[in-house]
Chain A
Amino acid sequence: MSAPASKSIRSKLMGVVLLTVLAALLIALGAVVAYDLRAYHRTLVADLTTQAELLGQASAPALAFDDPRAAQENLALLKFRPQIQSAAIYTARGQRFASYERRGDKEALPRLPAAEGARIEHRDLLLYKRIVKDGEILGTVYLRSDYELYERAFDYLGIGAVAIAVAMLGAWGMSARLQRGLTGPLASIAGVAQRVVQARDYSQRAEKLSDDEVGTLADAFNGMLSEIERRTRELEGVNAALAKQAGRLHLVHEVDRAIIGEAKPAAIAGAVLPRLRELLGVARVVVNLFDHEHGQVEWLAAAGRHRTHVGPGVRYSMRMMGDVERLRRGEPQLIDISSLPPGPEVEALRSSGVLYYMAVPMRSGEELIGALSFGGEERVFPEEQLAIAREVADQLAIAITQARLFERVTRHADELESKVKERTVQLEVANRELEGFSYSVSHDLRAPLRAINGYALMLEEDYAATLDAEGRRLLGVVRASSEQMARLIDDLLAFSQVGRKQISRVPVDMAALAKEVLSELKPQAPAHVELRELPPADGDRSLLRQVWANLVGNALKYSSKRERPHVEIGGRIEERERIYWVRDNGAGFDMRYYDKLFGVFQRLHRAEEFEGTGVGLAIVQRIVVRHGGRVWAEGAPGEGACFRFALPMEASA
């Protein structure tokens, strides 16, 4: 199938026409010949039948009266019918009665008559006809005639072949001429279509050779081509614009990424410039940073045809950027290097193929931080190029300002951190010295104090009698004061020890601990103590014991002057910490002085009212803080106080 399908329309049409003509001729000739041959056969049979009938009728009496001579005479008349080769008359009993042979070939005659009718034998037509008289069969007539059906058929075949050949030749010639008018224009269109497809040249046009459907086709084809041409051109324009747009977007995106990535100004410029140069299609692009203070310009980065130079480089005069005031106002400057005073920079520009360049301001807010310069041998800078450059310049300005800011902030932060570190070290040293000092002082103070107290006691015991009442009172004051001071020193030592001591971490049964502390303190106090459930904690058992001792001691102390003193000890488990509290209905405190509550030697009550050193809560806070927890309190004068402390669930501090 593929072979005929690939043939040209011309040969297909020719084939159709010739086949049609051939088929029509064959059918017509076949019909004529068939009709003629049939007519010939029928006519011949009818003719012979009539002949036989006549012979039979003529010979009936001869048969009836057994007169072969008369029959013979009748048969002899057949010599006027040359196509009859032989004839015979048979009696009713089948005996040959009379015969006739054109060529005297007796053997050709059948010995016995066959059934009535015509048949064909050896290109002869044989006919048997009964002779009937008064319903009685008298005999049979036999005729053998030339049967020229085949000859006629062959004649017709020959004539038909010649006729077909002539007709086909005529048809071929005529259809060839007709087709030239039909397939010529079609072939022309096909040729144009092929050239269009192969060369993608949509400017080709088909020639209109006729005003028929093919002509319409050519017009439609041309219309289609021009439409395709127009669309292709449009599409190419749009594609180019899109590509440019994509390049711009990509560049801007890159600058943005650089801003987000907190890159250094030089890195940003270095990443953006090569692409920008390609997009602008110029020989050279430079990012210039302005040093207004020195009236100078510094290369941040430059991209040429072959390489990109990054980093602070050459410095040159601001004049290279044109009118700075106009730049500040956002107007790009076109600079012709021939107008610049000669110098090494100008020579460098010339050698890199830059004769003209455009300086586009890079402004961040109101500040003109530099200019983006680009150029080549062309003096003309298209609007679109300029638009791209301005966009990128603005973006670069923001990015560079941002990067500079970031650099500055980072630098400041680093400075601050190092300062803090320095101070911390200094503080720690001072603190250690101080603690050491206070420990040794306290320790050293104890010896003389013990002496004072001891001697005062001895004085009291041994010389009480010699002293008058006033002397004894004064001695009591000395002793009380020295004891007070001893306690103070003990507390101070304890406080300083808390700061120095290594904290061990073990599970601590807080309930047992509180009970233990309570049993030590309770006998001295009248308060009713309510001990609630206390969750266990992780920490230093002895230090936590100190916490409980101080808080519970305080509560008992400050509530002791109440009619019905009441202390509540409790705790609960929170999500990340355990909270414990000690509440009393004692003297309370003024929240205004809360700041002083946990300070060393800070007391909110006079010693005459409630004895104490003012170190207890400071110790509590130090222990809790060293456990990674916190301590706080609330209260009101005369309405009691509640102290709480929280310890972290996981002992990580």
Chain B
Amino acid sequence: MRLRLAAMLAGLVLTATCWAQATEYQVKAAFLYKFGGYVEWPADALGGAGAPFTVGVMGAEELAAELSQITSGRSTSGHPISVRSLRPGDPLEGLQVLFVGRDDAAHLPQILDALHGRPVLVVTESDDGLPDGSMINFVLVDDKVRFDIAPASAEHGNLRISSRLLAVARRVVGGQS
């Protein structure tokens, strides 16, 4: 009994050490995956039961790889999670979440245009504040990944962001209608 307890404690300490060394992308990938639990999509946007919950990642290969790794075999609200790596100009159909990396931030207006108000949670990582049209934007505060939320933008895409998510955001941008 004591031996097992000791082994467990040792395991916990080991994982904690790993977490401390987690990279910024690893954290962001985890956040991306977790956002799904605090955002409400319109019923028709998710498809039938068993339809994949697709996260599109653009301009962040490393993050996409990380995300694929941590979500493999997982699901959110009964939908298996799939990760799709995108390039600018790629069709955006069937996405529920779209992360636009720093490298492709310039393409954001076109992407928003292409989405055209479809219920897709758009997440960005702009250090200069929440870009127009982005719903959640990652920022680094004291080397820690935080995020701002623009509920109005989300509402534009027919998405509802849980107040509990808002509670942990660094900043909530724009008035809430």
Contacts and interface: CB of A to CB of B under 8 A. Distances in A.
Given A66-B144, A134-B76, A94 B37 contact: no
Interface string B34-45: 100110000000
A73 B146 CA distance: 17
A71 to B, nearest CB: 9
Interface stretch (B89-97, B112-120, B122-130, B162-170): B162-170
A421 interface: no
Interface stretch (B8-16, B54-62, B100-108, B152-160): B8-16
Most buried by B among A61, A70, A95, A134: A61
Contact of B27 (A60, A61, A66): A66
A64 B144 CA distance: 14
A60 B145 CA distance: 17
A93 B16 contact: yes
A60 B163 CA distance: 12
A61 B27 CA distance: 14
B164 A61 contact: yes
A65 B12 contact: no
B147 A133 contact: no
Contacts of B168: 61-62, 64-65, 67, 70
Contact of B15 (A61, A64, A93): A93
A58 B147 CA distance: 18
B9 A65 contact: no
A66 B30 CA distance: 11
Contacts of A70: 167-168
Most buried by A among B147, B162, B167: B167
A94 B144 contact: no
B25 interface: no
Interface string A351-383: 000000000000000000000000000000000
Nearest to B144: A66
Contact of A64 (B34, B76, B145): B34
A112 interface: yes
A232 to B, nearest CB: 88
A437 B173 CA distance: 204
Contacts of B16: 93-95
Interface in A211-228: none
A64 B31 CA distance: 7
Interface in A85-129: 93-95, 112
A428 B71 CA distance: 177
Chain A, interface residues (CB within 8 Å), range:
10 to 19
Interface in A40-72: 58, 60-62, 64-67, 70
Contacts of B23: none
B144 A61 contact: no
A65 B146 CA distance: 8
A417 to B, nearest CB: 135
A90 to B, nearest CB: 10
Interface in B1-28: 9, 12, 15-16, 19, 27
A60 B167 CA distance: 11
Nearest to A113: B12
A58 B164 contact: yes
Contacts of B34: 64-65
B19 A93 contact: yes
Interface residues of B, number: 21
A133 B30 CA distance: 14
Contacts of B144: 66
B77 interface: yes
Given A60-B164, A70-B168, A65 B31 contact: yes
Nearest to A65: B168
Contacts of B164: 58, 60-61
Q: Label chain B's interface by main secondary structure.
A: helix
Interface string B125-148: 000000000000000000011110
Contacts of B146: 67
A406 B77 CA distance: 151
Contacts of B37: 64, 133-134
Contacts of A66: 27, 144-145
A136 to B, nearest CB: 9
Contacts of B77: 134
A208 B168 CA distance: 93
A66 B144 CA distance: 9
Contacts of B15: 93
Interface in A167-204: none
A94 B16 CA distance: 8
Contacts of B9: 112
B24 to A, nearest CB: 12
Nearest to A94: B12
B97 to A, nearest CB: 15
Given A58-B164, A70-B168, A94-B12, A65 B147 contact: yes
A93 B77 CA distance: 23
A94 B38 CA distance: 24
A70 to B, nearest CB: 5
Contacts of A134: 37, 76-77
A133 B168 CA distance: 16
Contacts of A64: 31, 34, 37, 168
Contacts of A61: 38, 162, 164-165, 167-168
Contact of A112 (B12, B31, B162): B12
Contacts of A60: 164
A219 to B, nearest CB: 80
Nearest to A62: B168
B158 to A, nearest CB: 22
B12 A93 contact: yes
B157 to A, nearest CB: 21
Contacts of A95: 16, 19
A93 B165 CA distance: 21
Contacts of B27: 66
A61 B162 CA distance: 10
Contacts of B38: 61
Most buried by A among B15, B16, B34, B144: B34
A152 to B, nearest CB: 34
A134 B53 CA distance: 15
Contacts of B19: 93, 95
Most buried by B among A65, A66, A94: A65
B109 to A, nearest CB: 27
Contacts of A65: 31, 34, 147, 165, 168
Contacts of A62: 167-168
A58 B9 CA distance: 27
B18 to A, nearest CB: 9
26 contacts: A61-B162, A61-B165, A61-B168, A62-B167, A62-B168, A64-B34, A64-B37, A64-B168, A65-B31, A65-B147, A65-B165, A65-B168, A67-B146, A70-B167, A70-B168, A93-B12, A93-B15, A93-B16, A94-B12, A94-B16, A95-B16, A95-B19, A112-B9, A133-B37, A134-B37, A134-B76
CB-based closest 8 A-B pairs: A67-B168, A94-B12, A61-B164, A61-B168, A70-B168, A64-B34, A65-B168, A93-B15
Interface of B: 9, 12, 15-16, 19, 27, 31, 34, 37-38, 76-77, 144-147, 162, 164-165, 167-168
Given A61-B167, A134-B37, A134-B76, 18 more contacts: A58-B164, A60-B164, A61-B162, A61-B168, A64-B31, A64-B37, A64-B168, A65-B31, A65-B165, A66-B144, A66-B145, A67-B168, A70-B167, A93-B12, A94-B12, A95-B16, A112-B9, A134-B77
